[in-house]
């Protein structure tokens, strides 16, 4: 099984993902927020690329969530902070989400066989799902406006580390960048909150009042939930259901 880690969206062509498993990462904050919404009982999360698409899809009972420039979009119910997506706000409701980078990354992956939203919170669970699907894996870092982000690289390294330590580790062919990110993750694993706070995006979010999001996003392997694309929506891959092949 081949494992490739793509550092930024501009480095991937959608046709190169056909038939593969793609794990999309946007730690700060889209994929973390998607996980929070589904963990709080949202019926599904629909990622869209534009504000206009979000308004067009919106129906009575839906939750509109998203950001531009890290701030909540005017007229939307919620922004892109995972702490906003509580059972009181989203349980039983469809969330329509648009963000600057993360939802775009998911749309880049639509030609893949399996697509999952990965974050530090569910890295181990995503690695297990990828192994069970038995297809070549592309770990796609969303980055920020075409630039690599440390937090996404750390999550990619976390997933690669779990893959290497699995019983199938010796059968994997992992790209050099993936191995470098695994070493980076090992270096920072005991200080993830500090690493996120020191990153460019972490400093930006802290300056905007979202320091609590950094602490929340750094809680590695605290969730077993794997959001997977089913049609146009992300839904939980239940642990009890057989993995699709």
d(CA 227, CA 225): 6
Q: Does residue 244 have a pLDDT over 90?
A: no
pLDDT tens string 163-204? 999 988 779 999 999 999 999 999 999 999 999 999 999 999
What's the token pair of residue 22? 């793609």
Which DSSP helix (H) or strand (E) runs through 137?
Answer: strand 137-141
What's the token pair of residue 73? 């979009």
Strands 114-118 and 137-141: what pairing?
unpaired
Question: What integer is the mean pLDDT of 121-137?
Answer: 97
* Domains present along the chain, CATH in parentheses: 2-33+100-220 (3.90.1560.10)
Mean residue pLDDT across the chain: 95
pLDDT tens string 82-93? 999 999 999 999
Q: Are 46 and 97 in contact (CB under 8 A)?
A: yes
pLDDT score of 64: 98
Q: Does residue 243 have a pLDDT over 70?
A: no
Per-residue b/e over 55-70, b at no fewer than 16 CB within 10 Å?
eeebeeebbbbbbeeb
Q: Is residue 224 classed as helix, strand or coil in its secondary structure? A: coil
Q: Are 130 and 23 in contact (CB under 8 A)?
A: yes
Question: What integer is the mean pLDDT of 151-159?
Answer: 98
d(CA 139, CA 63): 28
First to last CA, the chain: 14
pLDDT score of 242: 39
Q: Does residue 8 have a pLDDT over 90?
A: yes
Q: Does residue 217 have a pLDDT over 50?
A: yes
d(CA 138, CA 30): 18
Whose CA is closest to 168, among 139, 134, 137, 118?
A: 134
Backbone angles phi and psi of 12, in degrees to 5: -125, 145
Whose CA is closest to 205, among 22, 33, 86?
A: 33
pLDDT score of 174: 97
Question: What integer is the mean pLDDT of 212-219?
Answer: 98
pLDDT tens string 17-51? 999 999 999 999 999 999 999 999 999 999 999 99
207 burial type by CB count under 10 A (0-12 exposed, 13-18 middle, 19+ buried):
exposed
């Amino acid at each position: 099984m081949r494992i490739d880690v793509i550092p930024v969206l501009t480095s991937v062509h959608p046709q190169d993902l056909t038939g593969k498993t793609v794990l999309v990462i946007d730690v700060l904050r889209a994929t973390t927020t998607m996980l929070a919404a589904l963990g709080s009982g949202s019926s599904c999360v629909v990622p869209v690329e534009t504000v206009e698409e979000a308004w067009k899809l919106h129906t009575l009972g839906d939750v509109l969530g998203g950001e531009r420039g890290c701030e909540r979009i005017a007229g939307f119910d919620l922004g892109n902070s995972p702490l906003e997506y509580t059972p009181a706000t989203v349980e039983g409701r469809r969330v329509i989400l648009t963000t600057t980078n993360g939802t775009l990354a998911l749309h880049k992956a639509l030609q893949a066989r399996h697509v999952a939203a990965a974050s530090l919170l569910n890295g181990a669970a995503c690695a297990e799902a990828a192994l069970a699907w038995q297809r070549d894996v592309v770990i796609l870092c969303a980055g920020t406006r075409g630039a690599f982000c440390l937090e996404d690289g750390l999550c990619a390294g976390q997933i690669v580390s779990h893959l290497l330590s699995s019983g199938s580790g010796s059968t994997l062919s992992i790209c050099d960048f993936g191995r470098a990110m695994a070493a980076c993750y090992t270096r920072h694993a005991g200080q993830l909150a500090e690493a996120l706070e020191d990153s460019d995006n972490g400093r930006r979010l802290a300056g905007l009042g979202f320091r609590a999001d950094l602490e929340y996003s750094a809680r590695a392997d605290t969730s077993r939930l794997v959001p997977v694309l089913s049609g146009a929506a992300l839904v939980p891959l239940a642990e009890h259901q057989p993995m699709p092949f």
